[in-house]
Amino acid sequence: MAVAIRLSRGGAKKRPYYKIVVTDARNSRDGKFIERIGSYNPLLAKDNPERVKLDTERARHWLSVGAKPSDRVHRFFDQAGLLERAARSNPNKGEPGEKAKERAEERVTREAELAAAAAEAAQTPETVDVAEIAETADVAEAAETADVAETAETADVAETAETADVAETAETADVAETAETADVAEAAETAEVAEAAETADVSESAETVDVAETGEAGGEDGEAGEATPADEAPNEGQSTAEPAEGAPENAPADGAEKAK
């Protein structure tokens, strides 16, 4: 029967804990074993004495009877001085890949550039300061120019607004003056119409007075030229209804009674 000294896993998920056991090589890793001779806790620090515990006397015994340790247990035995482990040479195993090599080359190039820039800056500090001051001055001048341009633009806008206000005020004054002129013209026209009406009234009144005077004068002339009944009676042989002036009113009646 082949006897092996190896690790048997225990513990929990992501928290491993190993036992160093002597078992039949045909058994499973975590199966039954012949004897437990130590333990290994990888969660502890490498300088912790509790990381690897080993019973050296029982380990020597099983090595003496032909038990074969696994690679990890062989390392533990080498550290404990029980069994020497020859150094293995595998130069290609630890060689980095292509991408890792490219990253390493880029890192080396970047570090060299930074070192060269630092050395150049150390050699010419005044030049760098002058350039920085000039750049700062340019930035300040550009900012000042921008402020001046913004101020000029604001002034132009204010002047334009003021001009618009003045134009609007002038237009309002012109409209008011036009309205006032129209009112004056209308008032003058109204006065002329009133004066014309008054003149017409005066002319009509004068004409009415002339007509009245003319009618009165015509009445006087007709009264003077018309023959009275007393004047016409003697010619026609007829008596007038009115007695002659100075004659009694009952004279014809008395004459009539006498004739009877």
Q: What is the token pair recorded at 247?
A: 């004659």
* H or E stretch at 64: helix 56-64
Q: Structure pTM?
A: 0.37
pLDDT digits (tens, 9 = 90+) for 197-246: 676 665 665 565 555 555 554 444 444 444 444 444 444 444 444 444 44
Give 68's contacts (C-beta < 8 A, 6+ positions apart). 2, 3, 4, 5, 25
Q: How far apart are CA 187 and CA 193, in angstroms?
A: 10
Residue 225's pLDDT is 44
Residue 141's pLDDT is 80
- Asked whether the predicted pLDDT for residue 74 surpasses 70, the reply is yes
pLDDT digits (tens, 9 = 90+) for 164-176: 665 676 566 565 6
Residue 92's pLDDT is 80
pLDDT digits (tens, 9 = 90+) for 106-141: 999 999 999 999 998 888 755 545 567 677 777 778
Name the residue with tokens 């001085």. 81
Q: How far apart are CA 104 and CA 111, in angstroms?
A: 11
Identify the CA nearest to 51 among candidates 84, 18, 29, 82.
Answer: 18
> How far is C-alpha 114 from the geometric centre of its chain's CA atoms?
46
Q: What is the token pair recorded at 126?
A: 């005044």
Residue 170's pLDDT is 57
The 8-class DSSP code of residue 244 comes to P
Tell me the Ramachandran region of residue 97: left when phi exceeds 0, alpha when psi lies from -120 to 50, beta otherwise: beta
Mean of the per-residue pLDDT values for the chain?
75
Q: How far apart are CA 6 and CA 62, in angstroms?
A: 12
18 strand-pairing partners:
9, 40
* H or E stretch at 20: strand 15-24
- Using a pLDDT cut of 70, give the percent of the chain over it: 55
* Of 168 and 99, more confident: 99
Q: How far apart are CA 142 and CA 135, in angstroms?
A: 10
- Asked whether the predicted pLDDT for residue 147 surpasses 60, the reply is yes
Q: How far apart are CA 136 and CA 138, in angstroms?
A: 5
